[in-house]
């Protein structure tokens, strides 16, 4: 009987040892796999230069998923005066509206419960600064910025902004907009049969024989320029720079239209210089650069759906 009892105890002990060995072996096995949510990596704030128009981000380059599951996305945008956004699959398209900053929040999920992950980044659209200040020999110098040698770097002080239609006088801001932005001027014209002009009176007539009219410009948008006047039938679409004598008399006056300049419609700043001798007659006045008392710019023919809108800087007469 004792032999059977000892044998039973031996079998029990052996079984216990085998079980313990088996348990120890099982502890070396990897833990069971738990489905993990997606992970964002490297999605940083973004700074874009003005004029970029659209910019794309593929979130698939910034999101990983341990199980390789299909990821879906949702996005929100805090400021639509800076950018607008649209999403197609994993690709976000950012569309330029204006300068400033806007926060974009993107949510990614693999479809499993509580697996939504969120990341926020800031998109900054830089403001458009003016063209480099003109530093050449300027026959007309109005030093608005305290920068020696600038021509009309800020064409605001001392300038007259007006608008007119066949029905009478209007404030130019009722027609489009004329505003100072950073260190340059932005002009927008959006009424077809209306014109606006801005000009500056000099200190009496100046002899600018052999001089050039110069300015820096860049376009936002513009319809096709027609080379005709707003009073023509059909009304024209164009921009012109001009000069006249101090009394708007019969001494001299010249105009040169943008439609004759073969300008490039670009957001990049571009310099233009035109000899005053190349100007055409304004209102049948003789073109006489020896008597210049007023210089200005006139815009007509934009519409609400197709405005003339452009930037202007360093506007004046140079050697």
- Domain closes at, from 110, 125, 140: 125
Structure tokens at 90: 């994993």
The CA-atom distances, in angstroms, between 299 and each of 35, 175, 197, 269 are 64, 11, 6, 19
* Residue with more model confidence, 281 or 172: 281
Q: How far apart (Å, rounded) are the C-alpha atoms in residues 298 and 238? A: 8
| Residue 277 falls inside a structural domain | yes
When pLDDT is cut at 50, 70 and 90, the band that residue 53 belongs to is confident
Judge if 179 and 250 occupy the same domain. yes
Which is higher by pLDDT, 20 or 247? 247
pLDDT tens, residue by residue, 30-47: 777 788 899 999 999 998
Would 112 be classed as within a structural domain? yes
User: Domain boundary at 125, 146, 171, which?
Assistant: 125
Instruction: State the pTM of this model.
Output: 0.63
Residues 196 and 308 in one domain: yes
Banded pLDDT at 57 (limits 50, 70, 90): very high
The pLDDT score that the predictor gives to residue 85 is 96
Out of 117-121, 244-248, 251-255, 298-302, least confident range: 298-302
- Residues 189 and 310 grouped into a single domain: yes
Q: Which of 40-44, 182-186, 293-297 has the highest mean pLDDT?
A: 40-44
* CATH number reported for the structural domain that contains residue 264 in this entry: 2.60.120.430
Residue-number span of the structural domain to which 286 is assigned: 159-318
Q: What is the pLDDT of residue 80?
A: 94
Q: Which residues pair with 132 in a beta bridge?
A: none
Domain contains 22: no
Same domain (yes/no): 181, 311: yes
Mean pLDDT of 1-19: 52
Residue 85 lies in a domain: yes
Q: How confident is the model at residue 119 (pLDDT cuts 50, 70, 90)?
A: very high
302 and 189 together in one domain: yes
Mean pLDDT of 67-79: 93
Total domains in the chain come to: 2
Domain membership flag for residue 27: no
Banded pLDDT at 280 (limits 50, 70, 90): very high
Alpha carbons 185 and 218: distance in angstroms, whole number: 11
More confident residue, 28 or 32: 32
Q: Residue 99's domain is classified under what CATH number?
A: 2.60.40.1080
Q: Could you tell me if 148 and 71 are in contact, meaning their C-beta atoms sit under 8 angstroms apart?
A: no
* 131 found inside a domain: no
pLDDT of residue 253: 92
Shared-domain flag, residues 172 and 111: no
């Amino acid at each position: 009987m004792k032999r059977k009892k000892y044998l039973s105890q031996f079998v029990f002990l052996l079984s216990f040892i085998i079980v313990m060995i088996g348990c120890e072996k099982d502890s070396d096995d990897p833990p069971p796999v738990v489905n993990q949510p997606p992970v964002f990596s490297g999605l940083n704030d973004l700074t874009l230069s003005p004029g970029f128009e659209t910019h794309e981000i593929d979130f698939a380059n910034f999101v990983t998923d341990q199980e390789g599951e299909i990821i879906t996305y949702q996005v929100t945008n805090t400021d639509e005066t800076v950018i607008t956004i649209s999403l197609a699959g994993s690709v976000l398209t950012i569309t330029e509206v204006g300068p400033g900053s806007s926060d974009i929040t993107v949510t990614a999920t693999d479809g499993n419960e509580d697996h939504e992950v969120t990341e926020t980044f800031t998109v900054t659209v830089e403001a458009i600064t003016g063209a480099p200040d003109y530093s050449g020999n300027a026959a007309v110098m109005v030093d608005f910025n305290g920068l020696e040698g600038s021509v009309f770097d800020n064409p605001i002080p001392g300038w007259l902004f007006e608008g007119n239609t066949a029905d009478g006088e209007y404030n130019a801001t009722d027609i489009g907009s004329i505003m100072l932005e950073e260190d340059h001027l932005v002009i927008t014209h959006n009424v077809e049969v209306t014109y606006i002009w801005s000009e500056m009176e000099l200190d009496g007539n100046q002899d600018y024989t052999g001089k050039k009219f110069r300015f820096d410009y860049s376009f936002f948008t513009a319809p096709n320029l027609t080379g005709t006047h707003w009073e023509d039938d059909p009304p024209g679409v164009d921009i012109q720079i001009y000069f006249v004598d101090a009394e708007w008399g019969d001494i001299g006056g010249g105009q040169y239209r943008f439609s004759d300049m073969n300008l490039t419609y670009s957001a990049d700043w571009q310099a233009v210089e035109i000899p005053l001798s190349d100007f055409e007659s304004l209102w049948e006045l003789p073109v006489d650069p020896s008597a210049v008392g007023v210089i200005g710019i006139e815009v007509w023919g934009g519409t609400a759906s197709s405005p003339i809108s452009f930037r202007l800087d360093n506007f004046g007469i140079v050697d």
